[in-house]
Structure 1
C-alpha cells in the first residue's frame, strides 16, 4: 500500500488513513457479542442479556475503543511501510465521512531528526586526572579513628576545648520570651564539629563543668527555624560535664577491628588506597563523561522533536513533584510548577540522547556481554560478598538496563576521547571529592 506523507514543518508530517466502515462494525459486533456472554444487568440472568440491550448500554464505549485500536494499528502499519521513525504520539482527527463506506483520518506527527555530527578531531575536551596521595590515606585513617573514638570525663578544673564532648543545659529567649526549640537539658555535642551555631560553640569553649554563662546569639537570615531566623536571642548555658576524646592508636588492634586479617598497618593503608582508587576512578569517569557529552552536543546539528522534549519535561516535572512529596510538602502533586523551568534541561537530554544513539549506531559502540559482566564485577568488588551482589544485578532486567546504559556511555566517552583534542588537567584528591583541603 502506497503511503502519502506530507511534510508540514522540519520534523512534522501528516498522512491520511482510511478504514472501511465494515471492518469497524464487524469488530464492534464481535466485541459486543463477547461482552454479552459475561455482562451482568439487573433483571437478566448472566449471559442472557439481549444483544440490543447490551448494544444500547455499551455500544458507544466499545465503538470508541475499536476506532482507537484500528486507527492506531493503521497508523503503525503505514508508518512502518514508509520507514518512518515516529517521535511521540500522533494527533489523529476524523475527516468528513468518506465515500464508498470508508472512514478517513488525518494523522499529524513528528519524526526523529537526522543527526549530523561534525568532525570530532576538532572537538576540545579537558580530561581530569587525580592521584590518591598519602595525605588522602592519612585523612581517611583519621576519619576511621574518629568513628571509633571514646570519651573520658575531664577533671573538674579543666576547660572545654576543641573535640571535647560537652553535656549542657540551655535556654534561649528573644525579647525576654522563650521560643520553641530554644531549651534543652542534658544536651550533648562535640565542640568544633559544627553541630551548633558558631556563637554557641565560642561561648562554651573555655568554660568549666558547673559554670553558667549568658551570651547573645544572632540566628542567620536563612536559618531553618523560620520563627527565629534573622533574630538575636539571649542564651543561658550551664556546663554539666566535659569529656575529652581519645582516638585509638594506628596499630594492629585498629587494623583488625577494620577487617584487616594480618593486622598490619601497611595492609590497612593498602586496603584504604585500593578503595579510594576505585572511588577516584568512578568520579573521574563521571566528570570526564560530562566534558565529553558537552563537546559532543556542541559538534552536533539536529532539530528537536517537540513531542520528545515535552515527554521529557513531564518526566522531570513528575520527578520534582515526587521529591517535594518525599520532603513532606502538602499537595505536592498540585503545586504549580511551570513547564519552562525544566525545558532547557529536557532539550539538552533529548539532544544528547539522539546524538549518543547516532554515534552508537554508526560506530558499533553497543555494550558487549563481556563489558556488562566486567562493569557488574567492578560495582560488586567493594561489597563484602561480591558474588551475591552480582547475582542481584543479573537477576533483574531493569538493573541490567541501567548497567548497559552506563557501559554505552563509557564506550562513547572512550571513542570521543580517542578522536578529540584532549588536554589533561591534574586535580587534587580533595577537589575531586568536593572536600575542603
Structure 2
C-alpha cells in the first residue's frame, strides 16, 4: 500500500492510497481457493471444484468482497500509522477499477483536535439550595383537595356564574361536520376555570339548566391534536344542571382516600418530592455554571462535520416548534438567518464542551460500567409504564442504542469529578429563586 497525504488544512485531512493490482489479484485468488475447498456444486466432489468454475460462479461477489475488505484494512492501517482520530465517518472515493489495474482511492476525513485540558482547580462555583416551605406544602395539599373535590347540585334556578360548574352535553363541528373527540355528554365545565379550549367556558357563562346554545371557538395553534390545531369549530351545547364544587377537608380522611395512613404521611411525601425536585434544580444550576466556566477555557477548533451534525439536530427541533407555533417569544421575533446564526453558535459550544469533557474522561480514566448502562436502560423502561418489556427487547436487539446512553452518563460523571475539584460555596435561596435559575445543558 502506498499512501500520499494530499491535504492537511485545519482539521481536514486527505490521503491518496494505492494498492498494487498484484496484491488485489493475490487476495482474489486466495479467496477463490478458500471457496473451492468449501462450496458444494452439483456434479463436483467437495473440494474438487475447478478454479474456473468457482471464478465463474463467485468471481463477481468475490471482487466486491475483496475490494471492501482491502479498503477497510487500508483505512484502518492508515489511521493507526498516522495516529488519526476521526471526528466522523471518513469518506472514501474509489477510482475506476478493473482486474488489471491498481486500486486507487481517496480518503477524506476530519480529525479530532488536539485538546489541552485547562486548569480546573481555580474554578469557583455556587451551589444554590432550597428547603421545602410549609406554605408550599400547604398549597400542594390544596391542589390535591381540588382534584378530589365533589360537586353538589344548585337547586336555585339561575344562570351560571364564575366559580360554578355547569354540566353540559356538546357536539363539536368543523365546517358543519362532527369531528372525532368533539362529542360528549355529562361533562362538568368550571366557569372561569382552565382545561377547555380558550373561549369555551367563557361563552357558556350565563347559561341556565335546560338552555341550548351554539358557540364558536378556535383551537390553539399548539393544540395537542394536530388535525385540529388552529382550526375554527362550532359547539352545540345543552346545559343539563348547575353545580358547585366542594373541596374536601384537608385531614386524615383525605390522606386515607389517597392511600396514606395519615395527613402527616401525605405531607411527608410532598416534602420529600419537593426536596428531590430542588436537588435536581440545584444539580442543573451548578452544572450550567460549571459548563459556562469551561466554555471560557476552550480554545481549540471544533470539527465542522460535528458542528453540522449537531446543528442539524437542533434545527430540526426549531422547525418543529415553528410549525407547531411553540417557539418562545424571543426566537419567534427573530429572522431565520438570525436564528440559524444563534443556534449554530450553540451547536459549536455543545461540540466543544462535549469534546472537552470526553477528553477529561479519557485522561482521568473515567469510564461507564456495564452496570451503569443497564441502570440507564432500566430508567428508560420506567418512562413507559406498561411497556417496559418492549423497551428491554428494543435495547436487547439494538446494542448501538445502549451505547447511545453511554455519552450522557460519562458527561455527568466527568461533571461530578470537576465539581469535586472546584471551589464550591453553598448558598440557600427560596424555592422560587432556585426555580428561576437557568437549567443546564451543553448549550
* TM-score (normalised: structure 1): 0.68
Distance 1:34 1:58 in 2: 12
Equivalent residue number for residue 440 of structure 2: none
Shift of 1:300: 0.3
How far residue 273 of structure 1 moved from its aligned partner, in angstroms, is 0.5
Q: Hey, what does 1:147 align to over in structure 2?
A: 147
- Alignment map for 1:10-409 (pairs within 5 Å): 10-33=10-33, 37-38=38-39, 51-56=51-56, 58-93=58-93, 103=103, 105-118=105-118, 120=120, 128-157=128-157, 159-162=159-162, 164-170=164-170, 178=176, 180-181=178-179, 184=183, 186=185, 188-191=187-190, 192-213=192-213, 217=216, 219=218, 222=221, 229=230, 237-260=237-260, 263-312=261-310, 346-363=347-364, 365-366=366-367, 402=405, 405-406=408-409, 408-409=411-412
Q: In the alignment, is the contact (CA less than 8 A) between 1:223 and 1:230 conserved in 2?
A: no
* Unaligned residue ranges in structure 1 (runs of 5+): 325-339
User: For residues 1-59 of structure 1, what are the alpha-carbon distances to aligned partners after superposition, in whole Å with 9 as ceiling and x for unaligned?
Assistant: 9987565201123445454544432332343455565578xx97897976435534542
Where do 5+ consecutive residues of structure 2 fail to align?
A: 323-339, 438-443
Give the TM-score taking structure 2 as reference length. 0.68
Would the alpha carbon gap of residues 315 and 67 (structure 1) be closer, same or farther in structure 2, given more than 3 Å must change?
farther
Quick one: distance in 1 between partners of 2:305 and 2:313? Answer: 12
- Deviation per CA, 1:240-279, whole angstroms, max 9, x where unpaired? 123333333222232234343xx23222211211122112
CA–CA separation in structure 1 for the residues paired with 2:134 and 2:297: 40
Residues matched between the structures, number: 398
Aligned partners of 1:129 and 1:425 also within 8 Å: yes
Name the Cα RMSD after superposition: 5.2
Q: What's the CA shift string for 1:86-127, capped at 9, x where partnerless? A: 222333445799xx9975544332221012455557767675
Q: Deviations over 1:215-263 (max 9, x none)?
A: x6463784858899586x8866431123333333222232234343xx2
CA distance in 2, matches of 1:347, 1:249: 55
